């Protein structure tokens, strides 16, 4: 159910709710100009007003093209907005000021486009960056907000669209690329991947690690399939669900890992129940490629968490899931029509 929209200056490709200011979300944009070969962009800090149902600008900063952004909890009382850009730079901003980054470092060779990044800040503030040439680069953020390079290697022959840390093993990284290959790496020795999976028929554009199950993770591909994997047995996926569009981005619900929000490019945004493989919602009110999406962090979800603890049978669990979804706001963005939406599933 549509709540509000906003038109950005450049096409938006990434979006994420702030984990400590629950009515605020960030959005990154990217525009390639073939005439002068420039890649410009911007960062928006939006506030969603639930009373007026409007998306209001808090801050707006022109930048190089932004390919990915993330909020990171640097400490218990400090949060940064992290971005990677079309010039191969990683930047950090404070919540209160987007006009000047507190860190801006080159993290790719020869200003190659940085495509994604993933933080391991729960342990040692490490970050892995993937780029257009297929490289993975690992850096560490120190106590003085300096970035120390630890290692970089050619992981894929084509664009490495995504890379993430395993949420249960800080030595393991997953990467997926336009070469259709899913690779698993042990960073203690990156000369060869510890596993190469060839089951995808097109490029891999999204990967997420399961927070509640140390063996499972998910991949999304341009071949339109969401796949669930067990890293102990990689011959075949545990399940695969066709979503009708390239699965560009995936976000698990904060309260239920089995409920997944997916940006499915030409098929809009899809909410799927992994447990049942049922598509719960297909939001198609955007007019262009579905790229960025995220669930809102919400204080009221503490009450829903208590409700889930009381779910003792299948019927009650279904009721809990409906309640969770009806109370969950979603921010999403589509590329060519330069549109941001805030919405929730119609129950």
Domains and CATH numbers, the chain: 2-344 (2.130.10.10)
Cα 139-64-135 angle, rounded to 5 deg: 35
Measured in whole angstroms, the distance separating CA 130 from the mean position of its chain's CA atoms is 13
Reported confidence tier of residue 12, pLDDT bands at 50, 70, 90: very high
Each residue of 301-338: pLDDT tens digit? 454 555 555 554 555 566 666 677 777 999 999 999 99
User: What does the pLDDT read at residue 326?
Assistant: 74
Is the per-residue pLDDT at 345 higher than 90?
Answer: no
Mean pLDDT, residues 154-172: 97
Each residue of 47-63: pLDDT tens digit? 999 999 999 999 999 99
Give me the percent of the chain exceeding a pLDDT of 90.
84
Is the per-residue pLDDT at 79 higher than 80?
Answer: yes
Mean pLDDT, residues 16-26: 95
User: What does the pLDDT read at residue 297?
Assistant: 84
Is the per-residue pLDDT at 156 higher than 70?
Answer: yes
Q: What is the pTM (predicted TM-score) of this model?
A: 0.93
User: What does the pLDDT read at residue 302?
Assistant: 55
Q: In 3D, which of 132, 333, 133, 151 has the Cα closest to residue 248?
A: 333
Is the per-residue pLDDT at 2 higher than 90?
Answer: yes
Give start and end residues of each alpha helix (H) in 229-329. Answer: 301-309, 314-326
Mean pLDDT of the chain: 92
User: What does the pLDDT read at residue 300?
Assistant: 47
Each residue of 183-241: pLDDT tens digit? 999 999 999 999 999 999 999 999 999 999 999 999 999 999 999 999 999 999 999 99
Mean pLDDT, residues 242-259: 95
Mean pLDDT, residues 91-95: 96
Segments of 109-248 assigned E as strands: 114-120, 126-131, 135-141, 147-154, 162-166, 169-176, 182-186, 195-197, 204-209, 216-221, 225-230, 239-242
Which helix H or strand E contains 237, and what residues bound it? none
- Among 66-75, 115-124, 235-244, 275-284, the minimum mean pLDDT is found in 115-124
């Amino acid at each position: 159910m549509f709540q509000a929209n906003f038109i950005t200056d450049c096409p938006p490709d990434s979006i994420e709710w702030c984990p400590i200011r629950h009515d605020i979300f960030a959005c990154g944009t990217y525009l390639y100009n073939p005439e002068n070969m420039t890649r410009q962009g911007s960062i928006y800090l939006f506030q969603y007003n639930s009373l007026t149902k409007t998306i209001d600008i808090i801050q707006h900063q022109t930048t190089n093209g932004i390919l990915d952004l993330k909020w990171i909890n640097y400490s218990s009382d400090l949060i940064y907005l992290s971005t990677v850009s079309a010039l191969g730079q990683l930047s950090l901003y404070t919540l209160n000021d987007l006009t000047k980054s507190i860190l801006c470092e080159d993290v790719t060779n020869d200003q190659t486009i940085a495509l994604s990044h993933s933080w391991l800040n729960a342990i040692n503030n490490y970050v892995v960056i993937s780029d257009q040439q297929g490289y993975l680069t690992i850096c560490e953020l120190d106590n003085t907000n300096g970035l120390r390079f630890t290692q970089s290697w050619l992981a894929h022959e084509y664009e490495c669209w995504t890379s993430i840390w395993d949420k249960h093993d800080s030595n393991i990284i997953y990467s997926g690329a336009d070469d259709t290959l899913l690779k698993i790496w042990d960073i203690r020795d990156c000369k060869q991947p510890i596993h190469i999976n060839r089951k995808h028929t097109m490029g891999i554009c999204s990967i997420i690690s399961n927070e509640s199950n140390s063996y499972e993770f998910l991949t999304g591909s341009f071949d339109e399939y969401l796949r669930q994997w067990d890293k102990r047995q990689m011959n075949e996926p545990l399940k695969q669900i066709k979503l009708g569009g390239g699965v560009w981005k995936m976000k698990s619900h904060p309260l239920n890992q089995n409920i997944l929000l997916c940006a499915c490019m030409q098929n809009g945004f899809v909410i799927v129940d992994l447990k049942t493989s049922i598509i719960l919602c297909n939001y198609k009110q955007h007019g262009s490629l579905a790229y960025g999406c995220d669930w809102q962090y919400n204080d009221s979800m503490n009450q829903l968490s208590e409700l889930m603890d009381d779910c003792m049978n299948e019927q009650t669990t279904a009721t809990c899931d409906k309640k969770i979804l009806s109370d969950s706001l979603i921010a999403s963005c589509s590329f060519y029509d330069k549109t941001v939406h805030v919405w929730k599933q119609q129950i």
